[in-house]
Amino acid sequence: MLDNTLLFQQARQCAEPVAFHLPWGVIRGLAWGKPEGDPLLALHGWLDNSHSFVPLADAFMQSKLAQRYRLIAIDWAGHGHSDHRPVGNFYPFMDYVYDLWYLCQQQQWPQVTIVAHSMGAYVANMFAGIEPQRVTHLLAIEAFGLLASTAADTTNDLRQGFQSRWQQQDKKRPHYRDLNTAIAARTHAGDFSRELAALLVARGIEQLGEHDFRFRADGQLRLKSPVRLTAEQIADVLSHITCSFDVVLGSAGHERLKQAITAWRPYVKQLNVHELEGGHHVHMEQPTAIIGLLSQITRTHNG
């Protein structure tokens, strides 16, 4: 386990800021490696940010992957340094998939390799089904398939989704008197060390006054989705994935993922499942192992 953010100073100092202008606003992020290299997209999870991949970037720069790939870690809409969606808009899951689709079209990336965590991995496996010719490899960390609803859940999902939007109008994002208090809050909400929480907070916080800190993440991110795909719809998308597909589970990660693998594995015949010691943020705890696995995957499938 890594327990000192000083280990990541090189990765943080070598990170190159990137920005992509989408129709609704700007997606920002960080990049490492060969400037003209093949795109290796790093997609973070819900309420995290691109610093989720700083430990991975540190291991990446010490590997042969850095000679071929450009590691690009984005902040999703409403996260990190990226813009919030305009007032009156929300964060439906499929809009993240569309943002990724749009970004690849805009940048004219004919093919991409993706390493993604949690929500980012759910986005990635949907994208890989929609655009199978564009994704060469997908390494999903602590996520597979998608949360499904049945047709009988439709009315209740809509009702709860609308109610959460209404209730969010009067909610304000919490403020913290100092950075340590914010780090403590993030540590308490996660399953990792204070040092890793501090790494996420470093990009996810803004200072408004001498004793006034606030997380950058849009409060609208916490809304309940009014619409979810059915299991049949998810299966259809997954069945169109043709790229090499590997899933990494943390030994102390989310237990429900084992059920998801059992449910969805029949639709992705080429799926490989790996388990590493760690929690839901196992990619931050075991970055060298993740890079080693990614190196093996790209080497095996690229010949």
pLDDT of residue 179: 94
pLDDT grade, residue 7 (50/70/90)? low
Q: Give the active site residues.
A: 118
Q: What is the pLDDT of residues 32-49, one digit of tens each?
A: 999 999 999 999 999 999
How much is the average pLDDT of 217-244? 96
Percent of the chain with pLDDT over 70: 97
C-alpha to C-alpha distance for 242 and 238, rounded to whole angstroms:
9
Using the predicted structure, report yes or no on whether residue 251 has a pLDDT greater than 50: yes
| pTM score of the predicted model | 0.95
Structural domains present in the chain: 5-148+230-302 (3.40.50.1820)
Using the predicted structure, report yes or no on whether residue 255 has a pLDDT greater than 80: yes
Using the predicted structure, report yes or no on whether residue 3 has a pLDDT greater than 60: no
C-alpha to C-alpha distance for 265 and 114, rounded to whole angstroms:
19
Using the predicted structure, report yes or no on whether residue 167 has a pLDDT greater than 50: yes
User: Concatenated DSSP letters for 163-223?
Assistant: HHHHHHTT----EESSHHHHHHHHHHHSSS-HHHHHHHHHHHEEEEETTEEEE-S-GGGGS
Averaged confidence pLDDT in the chain: 94
C-alpha to C-alpha distance for 192 and 172, rounded to whole angstroms:
26
Using the predicted structure, report yes or no on whether residue 4 has a pLDDT greater than 50: no
C-alpha to C-alpha distance for 251 and 203, rounded to whole angstroms:
27
Of residues 16 and 190, more confidence is placed in: 16
